[in-house]
Amino acid sequence: VELVAATAPKITVIGTGYLGATHAVCMAALGYQVLGVDVDADKISRLTSGEVPFFEPGLPELLIKALDSGRLRFTTSFQEVADFGDIHFVCVGTPQRAGSFAADVSYVDAAVTELAGHLRRRALVVGKSTVPVGTAARLAELIRTVAPAGGSVELAWNPEFLREGFAIDDTMRPDRLVFGVSSPWAEQRLREVFAPVIGQGSPVMVTDPQTAELVKVAANSFLATKISYINAMAEVCEAIGADVHDLALALGLDERIGSRFLRPGLGFGGGCLPKDIRAFMHRAEELGVGQAVAFLREVDGINQRRRARTVDLVRELAGGDLRGVRVAALGAAFKPDSDDIRDAPALDVASSLHQLGARVRVFDPVALDNARRAYPALEYGQSTFDVATGADVVVLLTEWSQFREIDPAALRTVVARRRIVDGRHALDPAHWRAAGWEYRALGRP
């Protein structure tokens, strides 16, 4: 990628978690001068010393390069950030509020208030976090009243669609860039800063800030619906002995439907889809259009039932009682190629099995440290074969490629009983059955 001109805008990134750290590193890789800020001083010192505090393929190498180039720095000072930046990207978290479906926007409010209080020069503040529609308008007003540079600071919304595990590629070559702007100046600044990405062929969609905010939650709601749709079909298949795996393949061949996000199994989790659809329901109700997205409650319900049904399947395979049953749980992360365990279906299932009396041992290629911290009552092992040794039931909960490649003939030599629940439809049943395993998956005979 070509280095950006010396007159290029200086960039700051506020909140350096999964999204912010990736964005900061990628912007520096594109040639910009970048300053990242976070309230978590430990995170800032780790990033400064070249350590990515989470698992993301390729990011550690790119972070070191960016630090060595002198283009990327980190700080905990908002004063420094306000003085440095022409464009400020807001990437702080918006988790589900405890005891409610609503998004907790207090981190966004705090970050923007803190930044605005120091803004003494013309700047563009760009929200990237996923927020309830209407947040941008509220923040624009807040900036106008709080910022010393007042009227010369503008707010835009540029929702982020990156996927953990593909974060760098998704940042450098996104399917689309959405610019929610209130002026030609803001659009021009965003076009300028994303010029290297646009040059690689990513289409730009320019709209107003509220539509931009909505694009993100609407996209996540659609994806969640697609997953729950096929999982609802799995429930029907189970009732009649049909095979949802074949059904999904046949549906996916229809170009209007498409095969992606149509894989049946344990369902979705993570720090985005579950909380985003809930926040959307909450926000729609506030706006008086709750009915319009009431179907998302079903989408959420179908998804939650998958977890309970997976627990049932393990219990059935174990003979109806989980007490004292040794279970090897393969996977902890909410999806492969990530160490993110936020609302992870795998750990939800593992912990339910544990609560029902099973002796659960969990293995995950990268998420073990996070899992241990969040679920200290579970047992953990160092490899697939380690946790499977002596197991009465093996249950695949996250479809890491190394689990797909397990040799059933080799694994059968260490388990106590050859029984496997494939929670992700990741294995070939014929292959496993031929090796003497009792194979079960939701929605398959």
Q: For binding to ligand NAD (CB under 6 A), which residues are involved?
A: 14-20, 37-40, 43, 91-94, 107, 110-111, 129-130, 160, 162, 164, 271-272
Q: How many CB atoms lie within 10 A of CB 416?
A: 13
What is the C-alpha to C-alpha distance for residues 422 and 397, in angstroms, rounded to an integer? 7
Q: How far is the CB of 200 from ligand NAD (least distance, A)?
A: 20
Confirm whether residue 38 is marked as ligand binding: yes
CB of 343 to ligand NAD, least distance (A): 12
Would you say 249 is a known binding-site residue? no
Q: Round to whole Å and give the CA distance between 13 and 34.
A: 7
Give backbone dihedrals phi and psi of 119, rounded to 5 degrees, phi first: -80, 110
Consult the annotation and say whether 171 binds a ligand: no
Q: How far apart are CA 404 and CA 36, in angstroms?
A: 38
Q: Which is nearer to ligand NAD, 392 or 399 (CB)?
A: 399
CB-nearer residue toward ligand NAD: 30 or 279: 279
Supply angle C-alpha 294, 299, 304, rounded to 5: 125
Q: Within 10 A of 113 (CB to CB), how many other CB atoms are there?
A: 15
Least distance (Å) from ligand NAD to the CB of residue 293? 18
Q: Is 335 annotated as a binding residue?
A: yes
CB atoms within 10 A of CB 288: 8
User: Which residue's Cβ has the minimum distance to ligand NAD?
Assistant: 17
Name the burial class of residue 262, with classes exposed (0-12), middle (13-18) and buried (19+) by CB atoms within 10 angstroms of its CB. middle
Q: Which is nearer to ligand NAD, 86 or 164 (CB)?
A: 164
Whether residue 272 lies in the annotated active site: yes
Total count of residues recorded for the chain: 445
Measured from the CB atom, is 160 or 348 closer to ligand NAD? 160
Min dist. Cβ of residue 191 to ligand NAD (A): 21
AA identity, residue 280? F
d(CA 265, CA 425): 6
Measured from the CB atom, the residue of 116 and 325 that comes closer to ligand NAD is: 116
Give the shortest CB-119-to-ligand NAD separation in angstroms. 15
Cα 179 to Cα 12, 87, 172, 206, 391, distances in angstroms: 18, 14, 16, 5, 52
436 annotated ligand-binding residue = no
Neighbours of 256 (CB within 10 A): 4
Rounded Cα distance between 296 and 290, Å, is: 10
Q: How many CA within 13 A on the CB side of residue 236?
A: 10
10 labelled binding-site residue: no
Instruction: Name the minimum Å distance from CB 97 to ligand NAD.
Output: 13
Cβ-contact 74, 44 below 8 angstroms? yes
Question: Is position 57 annotated in a ligand binding site?
Answer: no
The response to whether 264 counts as a known ligand-binding position is yes
Residue 180 labelled as part of a binding site: no
Cα four-point dihedral sign 172, 173, 174, 178: positive
**Catalytic, out of 26, 91, 237, 272:** 272
Burial of 6 (C-beta count, 10 Å sphere; 0-12/13-18/19+): exposed
Least Cβ distance, residue 282 to ligand NAD (angstroms): 15
Task: Give 18 or 403: the residue with its C-beta nearer to ligand NAD.
Answer: 18
For residues 18 and 432, which CB has a smaller minimum distance to ligand NAD in the complex? 18
Q: For the residues of 330-364, what is the DSSP string, one character each?
A: E--SSSTT----TT-HHHHHHHHHHHTT-EEEEE-
Which residues are tagged catalytic? 272
**Residue numbering of the annotated binding site:** 38, 43, 94, 130, 161-164, 216, 261-265, 269, 275, 335, 342
**Residue numbering of the annotated binding site for NAD(+):** 38, 43, 94, 130, 164, 275, 342
